[in-house]
Structure 1
Amino acid sequence: MPHAHAPDGTPLYYEVRGSGAPLVLLSGQANSRRWWDPVVADFARVFRVVTLDWRGTGESGRPDTDSYSTRGFAADVAAVLADAGIGRAHVYGTSMGGRVAQWFAAERPASVARLVLGCTSPGAPHGVERGPEVRRALAQPDQDAAARALRELMYTPAWLAAQEAAGREEFATLGDPSMPGHARRRHLRASARHDAWDALPRIEAPTLVVHGSDDAFNPAANAPLLAERIPDARVRMIPGARHAYFEEFAEVATPLVVEFLQREEEDE
């Protein structure tokens, strides 16, 4: 079971599958590599795919220290790629993973071939934050109701109804249930404190910004903000999609991302 080690010594679990150009997939806040389970096989048919457990999740270490930040997570990604012997990769980050990907691309331009930022934000100081009604729904004391609200922010009602009818009860995008409380709180704080606004113009990699048009969890208005700040970035909105567009709308989103990432090879 491969583990890299972060600069502070924290063990970082990762997996590699497939062959081809390297692609690292970065998951959302308080989630492990399992976030990508519904689609990782599709990417592995084309790329050598790396997925990892953030510190505090999955099989990685769970230090109760001030080592959790989106910039620090980017250093963790660098440690994983170095351990896997990968010097340059495509990077696809969604939600908090997209925030981490911003730092990784801005500070390590030679390590990024192409960049995809999904359902993410430049950070609270300059981004568009979720509305108070969303915050209230997620913070309500009725845990079942809060969990239902989160599912409905991630997926459309029709899709959820179809999954329920099929007997599905678990979703890989709703948080790593094994996380200790301290790690969950530190993930929340790391994502909330993200601010890469001044670093975004330093991104050199060709960049695609993808967002669901109906995403209220991380408002879709953040997509054009990122694209305007990153040189030559382009935006693709997925009509009707919510936060977990990459799963529910995989038939649209995955080919879109694959085509963008492969374009570099064709141009070369």
Structure 2
Amino acid sequence: MERRDCTLVLSGLNLHVTEWGNAQARPVVMLHGIRGYAETFAGVAAALQPDFRVVAFDQRGRGESDWDPAHNYYTDAYVADLEALAQALGLAHFDLLGHSMGGINAIVYAARYPQKVRRLVIEDAGPGAFEASDGATRIRKELATTPDRFASWEAATGFMRALRPTVTEEARQQRLQNMLKPLPQGGFTWRYDHAGIVATRLNPDPTRVVDLEPSIRAIACETLVLRGGRSDYLQPAMVARMRELNPRITDITIPDAGHYVHDDQPALFERAVADFLQRGDTSAPD
């Protein structure tokens, strides 16, 4: 599978972009979650070959992208970054997929730029999940109690195993490889802006916290919501509310998957995404 990496200056920050597949194929942009990174979508990118050009990027403050010195980790900033990416890569019309925080960003972007999004996939995100779910409480607790460094790789592995007990050891190690960096004095620290992201998530500016329901109503494209069957974040009633707000929304529950559906059940996740994006499509790639 062809892979390309580059760094683009978007919204004044250097953001690391990864692409998989033929550059002339149908484009799909993928947005990771709050502590995620572009590489998390390598599996689904491979599953979509040879029909798709998959574009993912380390969102501001994560991976190999710049940290925002102003701790501007709000939806409007992420959406502006995505619009800048689309302009820089010449993506006039593309599919969009987002997980968790990335799903929130994708919903708002699709509502704001309906002419640009062909089809939308939302992985375990929706109105109410960010604010009121057991998963939101869990994520806030995790952020507040996560160490800022580890004495050894083994210590970090133990922490990740406790945090993500249901994923495979291979998936945990991939996460650590993408989320940690060595310290000069020994040990490891996070590759993402833990302090800045924690500050924004735990003590947000209330004027910048987005209400997703108007954006859900405004989505103009076919949309698939993928929920983990044992997710503590997006609840069935929330999915039902999304369908009530917009008849273009359909949903699939992936059994035996938690909030990280693409990690817990990769084969089922990849098949659902591929089937939805390819269904009844006879259009030529942009």
Q: Is the 8 A contact 1:122 1:197 kept in 2?
A: yes
CA distance in 1, matches of 2:218, 2:234: 23
Q: Is the 8 A contact 1:30 1:188 kept in 2?
A: no
Shift of residue 236 of structure 1?
Answer: 0.7
Gaps of 5+ in 2: 148-154, 180-189
For residue 194 of structure 2, the aligned residue among 181, 191, 194 is 181
Output aligned runs, 1:184-195, within 5 Å.
184-185=197-198, 188=201, 193-195=209-211
Does 2:105 match 1:100?
Answer: yes
Output aligned runs, 1:99-118, within 5 Å.
99-118=104-123
Structure 1 residues 233 and 23: CA distance shift in structure 2, 3 A: same
Shift of residue 146 of structure 1?
Answer: 6.4
Identify which range, 137-146 or 60-69, moves more after superposition: 137-146
Identity among equivalent positions (%) equals 26
CA distance in 1, matches of 2:254, 2:67: 35
Structure 1 residues 12 and 101: CA distance shift in structure 2, 3 A: same
* Counterpart amino acid of residue 213 in structure 2: W
Shift of residue 128 of structure 1?
Answer: 4.5
Does 2:76 match 1:63?
Answer: no
Gaps of 5+ in 1: none
- Alignment match, 2:134: 130
Shift of residue 244 of structure 1?
Answer: 1.7
CA distance in 2, matches of 1:235, 1:37: 23
- In the superposition, the TM-score normalised over structure 2's length comes to 0.77
Q: What are the Cα deviations for residues 82-110 of structure 1, in whole angstroms up to 9, with x where unaligned? A: 11121111001111110000111000001
CA distance in 2, matches of 1:77, 1:129: 27
CA distance in 2, matches of 1:246, 1:191: 31
Give the structure with the higher percent strand.
Answer: 2
- Alignment match, 1:41: 46
Structure 1 residues 99 and 90: CA distance shift in structure 2, 3 A: same
Shift of residue 135 of structure 1?
Answer: 6.1
CA distance in 1, matches of 2:135, 2:82: 31
CA distance in 2, matches of 1:132, 1:16: 30
* Counterpart amino acid of residue 262 in structure 1: Q
* Counterpart amino acid of residue 14 in structure 2: P
Structure 1 residues 262 and 26: CA distance shift in structure 2, 3 A: same
CA distance in 1, matches of 2:198, 2:273: 31
Does 2:277 match 1:261?
Answer: yes
Q: CA RMSD in A?
A: 3.2
